[in-house]
């Protein structure tokens, strides 16, 4: 009897020790053996308000890339998880969103959509060991305060130069006019670079008109001045929202042979003039992405995006998509999610994206081929085709 009691007590003690002091749980839920914590990617941009089309496009492009990468096994066996925060285009809200993403456990960052919000987040993240890769923050100086900040898109000065080169190379006009927004860095930066290159190329700027955030609803004066300049090309380095207002008010006043030429900020113009898409006729847009490109990777992306979102991707969607794949390439090259290690890797990788083949310099910039889309009756096609 004593032996039996001693045996029972010994068994109970062993079971107690196993329950309290073991390194592993007594049982593992089915299907979770060997799983790892998800690799969290954060993004910030306007999902509501007048400029929501840009943020939504970036978000959806990034979502599609995450879905594809996860289906292919993730990065280093880790599945990706994306959280995209609404900044409403406000820099202060963007910084708050960045803090929320850090608390969430973000390891990789898509930065922000707009230049102003990107600048504040890049500065706030200077001492954090996180790589920031903005899909579309294009202002020249916004990356300077952080050596772990990069961009997928063209920078503004590059776009301004390429726009002037495009006009010259295609013999479109030797005299142009300009309309830009004087209180917006994006617009000012593009204009200044465009003017400098026009001076070098011998392209005459016959008239320059400006507007501000507070005066972007009435373009009567600017239209009359631009008409008087008698030019065949008007450079409009502005966003789609004010451009739609300007073009609506200008409809029927300029000849059918007058072009309006903008940069990446014009993406989404057709949605802004959906009530009459002919308003955007003769609008040219500089871009690294064309949905009707015959490149196999572009067509695969366009098809997948259309199936997922029932719409054709614009350049901002393509930027978001390429940004996620670039983060993947940098992390695989670095062998780590450390921002410092990935920043070094960014200067060593080459990514064949849907917006072109990308390589980066230490200042965070990439240069790739630019093309121009021309709109006619609601359809955009590559200029010259």
pLDDT digits (tens, 9 = 90+) for 295-337: 999 999 999 999 999 999 999 999 999 999 999 999 999 999 9
* 3-state secondary structure string across the chain: CHHHHHHHHHHHHHHHHHHHHCCCCCCCCCCCCCCCCCEEEEEEECCCCCCHHHHHHHHHHHHHHHHHHHHCCCECCECEEEEEEECCCCHHHHHHHHHHHHHHCCCEEEEECCHHHHHHHHHHCCCCCCCEEECCCCCCCCCCCCCCEEECCCCHHHHHHHHHHHHHHCCCCCEEEEEEECCCHHHHHHHHHHHHHHHHHCCEEEEEEEECHHHCCCCHHHHHHHHHHCCCEEECCCCHHHHHHHHHHHCCCCCCCCEEEECHHHCCHHHHCCCCHHHHCCEEEEECCCCCCCCHHHHHHHHHHHHHHCCCCCHHHHHHHHHHHHHHHHHHHHCCCCHHHHHHHHCCCCEEECCEEECECCCCCECCCCEEEEEECCEEEECCC
In a domain? residue 77: yes
Same domain assignment for residues 324 and 358: yes
In a domain? residue 92: yes
pLDDT for 382? 86
pLDDT > 80? residue 12: no
Same domain assignment for residues 240 and 312: no
Task: Please state the domain count of the chain.
Answer: 2
Tokens 């010994």 — which residue? Answer: 10
pLDDT > 60? residue 16: no
In a domain? residue 383: no
Same domain assignment for residues 343 and 269: no
pTM of this structure: 0.82
pLDDT > 50? residue 5: no
CB distance 206 to 178 below 8 Å: no
Last residue of some domain: 240, 267, 287?
A: 287
Tokens 């068994």 — which residue? Answer: 11
Same domain assignment for residues 197 and 262: yes
Same domain assignment for residues 166 and 112: no
Same domain assignment for residues 107 and 175: no
pLDDT (average), residues 189-201: 96
In a domain? residue 14: no
Copy the structure tokens of residue 289. 């992405």
Instruction: Write out the residue range of the structural domain in which residue 122 sits.
Output: 39-154+295-369
Same domain assignment for residues 197 and 98: no
Question: Band of the pLDDT at 242, cuts 50, 70, 90?
Answer: very high
pLDDT for 351? 97
In a domain? residue 309: yes
Strand partners, 165: none
Same domain assignment for residues 306 and 274: no
Q: Characterize the bridge pairing of strands 259-262 and 351-353.
A: unpaired
Question: Band of the pLDDT at 370, cuts 50, 70, 90?
Answer: confident
pLDDT for 385? 62
Same domain assignment for residues 146 and 58: yes
How distant, in Å, are the alpha carbons of 8, 9, 11, 376 from that of 1?
Answer: 11, 12, 16, 98
Copy the structure tokens of residue 291. 């949905």
Question: Band of the pLDDT at 36, cuts 50, 70, 90?
Answer: low
Q: Characterize the bridge pairing of strands 80-86 and 108-112.
A: unpaired
pLDDT > 60? residue 167: yes
Same domain assignment for residues 281 and 184: yes
In a domain? residue 23: no
Task: Render pLDDT for 38-85 as a digit per residue (tens, 0 to 9).
Answer: 999 999 999 999 889 999 999 999 999 999 999 999 999 999 999 999
Task: Render pLDDT for 202-234 as a digit per residue (tens, 0 to 9).
Answer: 999 999 999 999 999 999 999 999 999 999 999
Last residue of some domain: 222, 254, 287?
A: 287
In a domain? residue 6: no
User: Any residues with CB less than 8 A from the CB of 58 and at least 6 apart, and which?
Assistant: 43, 45, 84, 110, 113, 135, 136, 316, 317, 319, 320, 323
pLDDT (average), residues 26-33: 29
pLDDT > 70? residue 252: yes
Same domain assignment for residues 237 and 305: no
| CA angle in degrees (0–180, nearest 5) for 278-279-281 | 60
Q: What is the CATH number of the domain that holds 253?
A: 3.40.50.2300
In a domain? residue 2: no
Task: Render pLDDT for 128-163 as a digit per residue (tens, 0 to 9).
Answer: 999 999 999 999 999 999 999 999 999 999 999 999
Same domain assignment for residues 203 and 259: yes
Last residue of some domain: 253, 287, 321?
A: 287
């Amino acid at each position: 009897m004593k032996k039996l009691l001693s045996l029972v007590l010994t068994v109970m003690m062993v079971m107690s020790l196993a329950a309290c002091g073991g390194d592993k749980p007594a049982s593992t839920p089915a299907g979770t053996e060997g799983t790892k914590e998800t690799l969290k990617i954060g993004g910030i941009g306007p999902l509501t308000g007048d400029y929501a089309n840009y943020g939504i496009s970036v978000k959806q492009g990034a979502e599609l890339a995450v879905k594809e990468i996860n289906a292919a096994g993730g990065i280093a066996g880790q599945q990706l998880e994306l959280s995209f925060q609404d900044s409403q285009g406000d820099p202060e809200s963007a910084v708050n969103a960045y803090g929320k993403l850090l608390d969430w456990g973000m390891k990789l960052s898509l930065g922000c959509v707009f230049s102003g919000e990107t600048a504040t987040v890049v500065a706030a993240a200077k001492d954090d060991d996180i790589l920031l890769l903005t899909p579309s923050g294009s202002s020249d100086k916004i990356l300077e305060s952080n050596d772990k900040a990069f961009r997928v898109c063209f920078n503004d000065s590059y776009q301004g130069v390429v726009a002037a080169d495009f006009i010259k190379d295609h013999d479109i006009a030797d005299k142009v006019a300009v309309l830009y927004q004087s209180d917006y860095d994006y617009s000012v930066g593009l204009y200044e670079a465009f003017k400098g290159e026009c001076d070098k190329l011998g392209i005459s700027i016959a008239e320059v008109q400006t507007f501000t955030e507070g005066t972007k609803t009435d373009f009567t004066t600017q239209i009359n001045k631009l008409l008087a300049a008698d030019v065949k090309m008007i450079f409009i380095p502005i966003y789609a929202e004010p451009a739609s207002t300007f073009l609506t008010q200008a409809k029927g006043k300029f000849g059918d042979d007058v072009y309006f030429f903008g940069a990446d900020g014009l993406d989404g113009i057709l949605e802004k003039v959906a009530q009459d898409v002919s308003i955007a006729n003769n609008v040219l847009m500089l871009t690294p992405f064309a949905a009707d490109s015959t490149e196999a990777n572009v067509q695969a992306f366009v098809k997948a995006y259309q199936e997922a979102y029932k719409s054709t991707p614009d350049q901002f969607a393509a930027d978001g998509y390429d940004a996620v794949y670039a983060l993947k390439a940098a992390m695989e090259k670095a062998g780590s999610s450390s921002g410092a290690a990935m920043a070094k890797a960014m200067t060593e990788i080459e990514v064949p994206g849907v917006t072109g083949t990308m390589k980066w310099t230490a200042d965070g910039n990439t240069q790739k081929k630019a093309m121009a889309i021309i709109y006619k009756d609601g359809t955009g096609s590559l200029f010259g085709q």
